[in-house]
Structure 1
Amino acid sequence: MLTKLLTGRSGWPRRFLSAAAWAVGVRPKVVGGPLNRHTLLISNHVSWLDILILGGATGTAFVSKDNLGHGVIHWLADQNHTLYVRREDRKGSMKQAEAIARAAEREQPIVLFPEGTTGPGDHLLPFRSSLLEAAAYARGDVEVRPLALDYGAAATEVGWHGESGKDNVLRILGRKGTLPVTVHLLPKLDRTSDRKALAHAAREAIAETLASSRGAAPLYPAQR
């Protein structure tokens, strides 16, 4: 807070998230082209670890549901310029997409998880396209890029799906050894596409990358 007061910005949220990921055993590696500061990233979502990894390794902010639970968690998220949305508020989706567009224009990339929740790790959930309308509202220098978060063979182990938050956290914290994770920053998408085409293109790019990195046939069926 003192750094932000004196300089107007602070690198401490990124340092905090990076240190937290390291303490849990995560060893991230970022591959792909350099990240433009004005970028909307579209990522798969596997675990609460995603926040520590992406925030620490790339310095991104996040689009999050508005009910994060404990007030301390909410305060910590605020320090990294988290943008809150109510996914159930379909009537307000346009205003939320506009807010995401404005956030993507800031000096910090921002990540959107279009699955809307964490998945099991062995396949992608359907991508919701409504908030991707942000691409149509954003300034011309904003890039839209898919991001594939790859936990490798440990993906199903760390996946948070159909399990209470407490049980998942205790299980992950009790895990022995380190956890190598690759963050694939993929080529930017054509912003002139409509939101459904963007969602489809992002999902296909992420699915192909994850399948290729694991040397196996795709486990990510086409979205219906």
Structure 2
Amino acid sequence: MRRLRIAYRMAALIVWLILCVGAFYIAAPFTRRNPVPPRFLAGVATIAGVRVRRIGSISAPRAVLLANHLSWLDIPLLAGTTGSVFVAHDGLAGNRALKWLCDMNDTVFIARSRRSTVAHQVDQVREALDAARVLTVFPEGTTNDGTALLPIKSALLSALDTTDAGTAIHPVALSYGDATQEIAWVGNEPGATNFFNVLGRGKPIDATVTILPALTGEALNGRKAIAEATRDALTKAMAGW
């Protein structure tokens, strides 16, 4: 049955991809922010067996979401529920097929290890916010197993130091309920193995996207303050699971 589920879901994903790619190019000349990629990603989560619940709301027309990171499913969940684009490590751009899909959703690729690129990163973040209005950063820099947060890397937040006052910064807590430890992508597990483990599950995955209150006051005084406030908010949210 597991193999049948994987085969069925893979076939559904391929058909869904073909339909959405066609729709993307049809819509492209008529819109600045193409509406197809978030809908495609939401469909990916549904085909993978995810049932999504969203708690909370974004408090401004433009927002940066700072989310804990557990799985590749985080991206379909957040895109589907918020319409977000994402910040990704520029190493991912080396995979042509993956970069092609990421570019469709206006992904911002950054060189995290080179401080000389910060000014360019600021411009990229502003352009992404202008186009999509919502952008997600995973400030841990990698996935974790869901039991605790990894250290928040404040360097990843350097571009947020100069976001304007009209941009809300929201910590976002992601949970997959009882399935969290099983679907978390950690350690040396190959990406393909994790992908097929998710597709082969028989039980639905109950996911929750909790948009926590926007940071205010001293929590916005630079990247280190943002990192500390985000860690505190996410830790408290995770303690209630």
Q: TM class by shorter-chain length?
A: 0.7 to 0.9
**Alignment root-mean-square deviation, CA:** 1.8
Which whole-Å CA distance do the structure 2 matches of 1:8 and 1:192 have between them? 30
- Return the structure number with greater helix share: 2
**Cα shift at 1:84:** 0.3
Q: Distance in 2 between matches of 1:149 and 1:173?
A: 19
| 1:71-90 Cα distance to aligned partner (Å, 9 max, x none) | 22211111111000112223
Q: Structure 1 pair 187/173, CA: closer, same or farther in 2 (3 Å)?
A: same
- Which of 191, 194, 212 is residue 186 of structure 1 equivalent to? 212
Which of the two has higher C-alpha Rg? 2
Provide the rounded CA distance (Å) in 2 between the counterparts of 1:38 and 1:188: 12
Following superposition, the deviation at residue 98 of structure 1 comes to 4.5
Q: Is the 8 A contact 1:129 1:199 kept in 2?
A: yes
Provide the residue aligned with 1:71 in structure 2.
96
Three-state SS of the structure 2 residue aligned to 1:52 is helix
What percentage of residue pairs aligned between the two structures are identical? 37
Of residues 130-139 and 12-21 in structure 1, the stretch that sits farther from structure 2 once superposed is 130-139
Contact 2:174 2:209 in 1 (8 A): yes
Q: Deviations over 1:54-79 (max 9, x none)?
A: 11121100001112253222111111
Give the TM-score, by structure 1 length: 0.88
| SS at 2:151 equivalent | coil
Residue 2 of structure 1 is aligned with which of 23, 26, 42? 26
- Aligned counterparts of 2:228 and 2:41: Cα–Cα separation in 1: 30
**1:131 alignment partner in structure 2:** 156
Unaligned runs of 5+ in 2: 1-24
Q: Is the 8 A contact 2:51 2:204 kept in 1?
A: yes
Q: Which moved more, 1:97-106 or 1:195-204?
A: 97-106
- How far the C-alpha of 1:107 sits from its partner, in A, is 4.0
Q: CA 1:171–1:107 in structure 2 vs 1: closer, same or farther (change >3 Å)? A: closer
Distance 1:33 1:40 in 2: 12
User: Structure 1 residue aligned with 2:66, among 42, 47, 53?
Assistant: 42
Q: Secondary structure at the match of 1:67?
A: helix
Distance apart, 1:94 and its partner CA? 4.6
* Match among 183, 195, 211 for residue 223 of structure 2: 195
Read off the aligned partner of 1:168 and give its amino acid letter.
N
Unaligned 5+ segments in structure 1 are 215-224
> Which residues in structure 2 correspond to 1:112-127 (within 5 Å)?
112-127=137-152
Distance (whole Å) between structure 2 residues aligned to residue 92 and residue 9 of structure 1: 25
TM-score normalized with structure 2 length: 0.82
Q: Does the CA contact (< 8 Å) of 1:41 and 1:110 recur in 2?
A: yes
